[in-house]
Amino acid sequence: MKTILRFIGSTLILGMLAWVLIVNVAISPSQATIRQLEEAPGQVVYQSRQVLKDQKGASWQAIAFKRTFPDRSDSIYLRLVGFPGTANIDHSQPLTLTNSMGKTLTAADVSHDMFVDPTQIKPDVAQYDLQPILMKLELGIPLRLILPTLDQSEITLNASTDLVEEWRSLIGQK
């Protein structure tokens, strides 16, 4: 009888420990996933890649990246890529970033820097300069990204607080 009670007690304790572990893993905040690529000697790219959904449910790849150069200078950009036919982005307009507190920032469209030949710029791909505004993005507050389009509609993407934190972490990458 004592053996059975010990077995049941041990099983209950192990079960409770397993449950606590599962709950903690399920609710723990996601860790930043920054990829590091060496493009050339002394030139490194650090990337954060996430998939965001727009207001119509279409998926967009959001790639925030920092490129460091041999002279120790760097640049930080956000590239947004939609599926072909998703949008016709207006590259003459900036990306608007608005947080839930109403603070609005803009990031210049630098898509022309992606290609030597501007005719290669895709209508559903845009690149924005994050460097001037990245430190102004407040941690703990989600963002709404508003992409301007040529047909005057806007594409809205929501960036979570974890994603904002991941983007800000690019600053410290060396």
pTM over 0.75: yes
CB atoms within 10 A of CB 109: 21
Average pLDDT, the chain: 83
**Does one domain contain both 52 and 107?**
yes
**Does one domain contain both 20 and 91?**
no
**Does one domain contain both 15 and 76?**
no
Q: Which domain holds residue 9?
A: 1-29
Give the pLDDT band of residue 1 (cuts 50, 70, 90): low
**Does one domain contain both 53 and 108?**
yes
**Does one domain contain both 84 and 135?**
yes
**Does one domain contain both 19 and 86?**
no
Which pLDDT belongs to residue 16?
A: 41
* pLDDT tens, residue by residue, 35-68: 998 888 888 999 999 999 999 999 999 999 999 9
* pLDDT tens, residue by residue, 27-42: 334 444 889 988 888 8
Give, rounded to a whole angstrom, the gap between the first and last alpha carbons of the chain. 63
DSSP 62-103: EEEEEEE-TTS-EEEEEEEEEPTTS--B-TTS-EEEEETTS-
Q: Above 70 in pLDDT, residue 19?
A: no
Give the pLDDT band of residue 2 (cuts 50, 70, 90): low
For 145, the token pair is: 């990204």
105 neighbors 128 (Cβ within 8 angstroms): no
What is the total count of domains within the chain?
A: 2
